Chains A and B, each alone.
Chain A
Amino acid sequence: MASKEIDMDKGEIAEQIRTFLETEFPNPGVRLTDTTLLLEEWFVDSMAIVETVLFLEKRFGVRIGRRDINGVHFRTVATLAELVSERRDG
């Protein structure tokens, strides 16, 4: 039951991240899913990363560090949601 709640939380987090990315960095012709490769197919440049960090910190109250800016955490919406979820639990 507990793991299901965590999964739901992650789903909600992912949904909010997806909405933010679609609104802030619209990308016509590409459908953003939880598994879309953000660094390959979505982000514009390093300032987009900064805006996403500000969003994650403000919206979810987590702390993102410079070393978190990498291809593992920023790979997909799902991995970003995973990062946020881990930080919230931690």
Chain B
Amino acid sequence: MAGLLRNVPVDDGLRRANDRHDWRVVVAVLAVLGIYLYLFTHVADAFGWPRPQFLAWRLGWHPVHVFDRDHNVDSTVGVTLAQNWPSNDDERLVLFLIVGGAFLSAYFLPLPLKQPALVAWTGLALLLLYGIRATAGLLWCHLWVYLVLHPPSRPGWLTLAGGVLGYVALLSGASGGDWAVAALLLVASCVGHWVGYRFVIRPLLDRPRPAAWLRTAVVQSAILTVGMGAMLQGMGAGEWSLPLGVLLFFWQWERLILYHVDHKDGLIPAAVPLWRFLAVFWNPGVLPNWNWGVTIGQGYSYVHNNFLCDDKNRLVLSGVRIWLVALLYLVFWNEIRHLLVTGFEEMGIPVYRAYTREMVRRFMAGETVTTASVLATTFLDLTRWTMLWAGVVHFKVGVWRICGYRMDPYINKPWLATDLATFWARFTFHYREFLVRAFYYPVFFRCCRRRPYLRVLVATLAAAAFGNLVWGHVTERLYYRGLTWENVIHVLGTWPYFVLLALGIAASQIYLLKFRRRRRPWTFDRHLWKDVVAAYCMLQYYALIHIFARPASGSSIGDLGRLFLTGLGIRLD
């Protein structure tokens, strides 16, 4: 695993040296992409080939939980909230074709055109999948961030472009088909943007303190907006509805915060062209399951320093490899889940289809749940969504890699971790890096300097509990389920999970600081059994605390606590 600080600036000379063509690599990428097209879309029909399920039957393989009703693989790779296509298979077809085009551009175009081409392919995908209003809305949001973080010396054209984008995204539906009204709104939008930037924003950006406040407000616009919307709804106002383009922008809020951290740390050049700013956010790697693994790619320094920093063909082949791993998860995850569930049920241990929430629901309905059942259900639930999640995030990481980026895996063999701190780094690497840089470092370098263990504890609570709960999960719930106060209360009610997670991670770190390791975990010696026990206990703890993150209707923290203790073998009946 490379890590955030492994990325160091790379000059274009080295990038050119890394930019050698190899047709075998190109064929490998297109071949694997062809497998994805065959399995997850209807492309077989166009060539008169048998659909994947019929091919499996011909080969004598009859899985029950792999194929869907249209006889291809029921994939979790998809395009979130796309509205322009009749089925998700069609959306995937567009997605894979765009990825293929982006790969060929990034591979064969001259170095100065590679990243702009990736931005252009992403823009085309957005237009095709989400339509012009959503695309304009997303670009409008990013343009405003750019104008605030990188104020250009001559902003005239950009502010006018902002006016046009703002009109298309937000006002074009208000004209009622009247061209005169539309023209008036367009002119008003352009003039409003130009005047607003020239006479309000720009003067503020010339003064250090207001400029810092303004930059923070823009970067935190997602949480400010959804927080205000939820509060107003709680006070009796109607529920806000976010335009799609704005929602897509908000879904990248964690990466925007990391961009701001890079900006504050002086890791971004003063003058950055718009395309270079957009290249951080407009990459085909963000398109699949837009709202999953949103931190993949992190901020400016990570993205740009990892572009063609190594031999291009090696980077691309690492993408092909992770796509093949993703394929295993995407095809087999549900079949494996059913096998595991059936196996436990046959042993007389109910595991509730491997859903913790279902177990909580039954428990609340008065069903007796045993310790074995709690342990097995939570463990299988963790296994289930690890497989589900890994298929998608591996695919996303693969897209970045085939486009020339050295991208760390989001999930990297988490079962090899023997402590919770290492597990979290392996399980959710890019998100963990976000929490460390945005919350852990600021606290760690300010608080409790004379007491290192307390320092670690406080910083971990700030990151894994507070940052994770508020900036990670509250906002996410509001995007998914609507800007209502009930959603805020719902997520805040899961606080024991975040506290237990933070305490577990802090305990791991303090233990490792206090008692230095004398041997490397998973060394093949007589202590190997200790690694097995440590890995199981850590995974089971992580799985078990999710009881508090999966409340059912009517369950209180006390009820969830009783179920949690049951998992530990303590019954309070």
Interface residues of A (CB under 8 A from B): 23-24, 26, 37, 39-40, 43-51, 53-54, 57-58, 63-67, 69-71, 74-75
A71 cross-chain contacts in B, Cβ below 8 A: 5, 8-9
Contact B5 A49 (CB under 8 A): yes
Residue of B nearest to A38 (CB): B5
- Give the distance in Å from the alpha carbon of A67 to the alpha carbon of B442 in the complex: 10
A45 touching B452 in the complex, CB below 8 Å, given contacts A26-B520, A40-B8? no
B436 cross-chain contacts in A, Cβ below 8 A: 46-47, 50
Residue of B nearest to A26 (CB): B520
Interface size class of B (residues with CB under 8 A): 20 to 34
Contact A46 B445 (CB under 8 A): no
B517 cross-chain contacts in A, Cβ below 8 A: 23-24
B202 cross-chain contacts in A, Cβ below 8 A: none
> Is B457 an interface position by the 8 A CB rule?
no
- Give the distance in Å from the alpha carbon of A16 to the alpha carbon of B6 in the complex: 22
Known pairs A43-B5, A66-B265, A71-B9 / 7 extra A-B pairs, C-beta < 8 Å: A43-B6, A44-B1, A45-B4, A50-B440, A50-B444, A57-B449, A66-B445
Contact B6 A40 (CB under 8 A): yes
8 pairs of A and B residues whose beta carbons are closest in the complex = A45-B3, A66-B445, A46-B436, A71-B8, A39-B5, A39-B6, A46-B4, A54-B452
B248 cross-chain contacts in A, Cβ below 8 A: none
From A46, A58, A63, A65, B452 is in contact (CB under 8 Å) with A58
From A37, A46, A75, B437 is in contact (CB under 8 Å) with A46
Contact B265 A67 (CB under 8 A): yes
Contact B425 A45 (CB under 8 A): yes
From A45, A50, A70, B429 is in contact (CB under 8 Å) with A45
Residue of A nearest to B421 (CB): A47
**Distance (Å) between the CB of A12 and the closest chain B CB?**
20
From A26, A43, A70, B3 is in contact (CB under 8 Å) with A43
Q: How many A-B residue pairs have CB under 8 A?
A: 71
From B1, B449, B516, A23 is in contact (CB under 8 Å) with B516
CB pairs A–B below 8 angstroms (25 shown):
A23-B517, A39-B3, A39-B5, A39-B6, A39-B8, A40-B8, A43-B3, A44-B1, A44-B3, A44-B425, A45-B425, A45-B432, A46-B3, A46-B5, A46-B436, A46-B440, A47-B509, A50-B440, A50-B456, A57-B449, A58-B452, A63-B449, A67-B265, A69-B5, A71-B5
Contact A45 B437 (CB under 8 A): no
- Give the distance in Å from the alpha carbon of A78 to the alpha carbon of B433 in the complex: 26
Residue of B nearest to A55 (CB): B513
B6 cross-chain contacts in A, Cβ below 8 A: 39-40, 43
Contact B425 A47 (CB under 8 A): yes
A-facing mask of B210-246, CB < 8 A → 1, else 0?
0000000000000000000000000000000000000
B455 cross-chain contacts in A, Cβ below 8 A: 54
- Give the distance in Å from the alpha carbon of A26 to the alpha carbon of B517 in the complex: 10
Residue of B nearest to A37 (CB): B8
Per the 8 Å Cβ criterion, residues 419-468 of B in contact with A are 421, 425, 429, 432-433, 436-437, 440-442, 444-445, 449, 452, 455-456, 459
Residue of B nearest to A20 (CB): B516
A45 touching B433 in the complex, CB below 8 Å, given contacts A23-B516, A24-B516? yes
From A26, A40, A43, A46, B433 is in contact (CB under 8 Å) with A46
Residue of B nearest to A65 (CB): B445
- Give the distance in Å from the alpha carbon of A2 to the alpha carbon of B51 in the complex: 80
A70 cross-chain contacts in B, Cβ below 8 A: 265
B432 cross-chain contacts in A, Cβ below 8 A: 45
A43 cross-chain contacts in B, Cβ below 8 A: 3, 5-6
From B3, B441, B449, A69 is in contact (CB under 8 Å) with B441
A53 cross-chain contacts in B, Cβ below 8 A: 444
Residue of B nearest to A28 (CB): B520
- Give the distance in Å from the alpha carbon of A45 to the alpha carbon of B424 in the complex: 11
Per the 8 Å Cβ criterion, residues 307-344 of B in contact with A are none
**Distance (Å) between the CB of B459 and the closest chain A CB?**
8
B459 cross-chain contacts in A, Cβ below 8 A: 50
Q: Which of B6, B440, B456, B517 has the most CB of A within 10 A?
A: B6
Contact A48 B452 (CB under 8 A): no
Contact B440 A45 (CB under 8 A): no
**Distance (Å) between the CB of A73 and the closest chain B CB?**
11
B4 cross-chain contacts in A, Cβ below 8 A: 45-46
- Give the distance in Å from the alpha carbon of A25 to the alpha carbon of B479 in the complex: 39
- Give the distance in Å from the alpha carbon of A43 to the alpha carbon of B2 in the complex: 7
Q: Which of B4, B5, B7 has the most CB of A within 10 A?
A: B5
- Give the distance in Å from the alpha carbon of A50 to the alpha carbon of B439 in the complex: 13
Q: Which of A24, A39, A45 has the most CB of B within 10 A?
A: A45
Residue of A nearest to B408 (CB): A45
A39 cross-chain contacts in B, Cβ below 8 A: 3, 5-8
- Give the distance in Å from the alpha carbon of A44 to the alpha carbon of B421 in the complex: 12
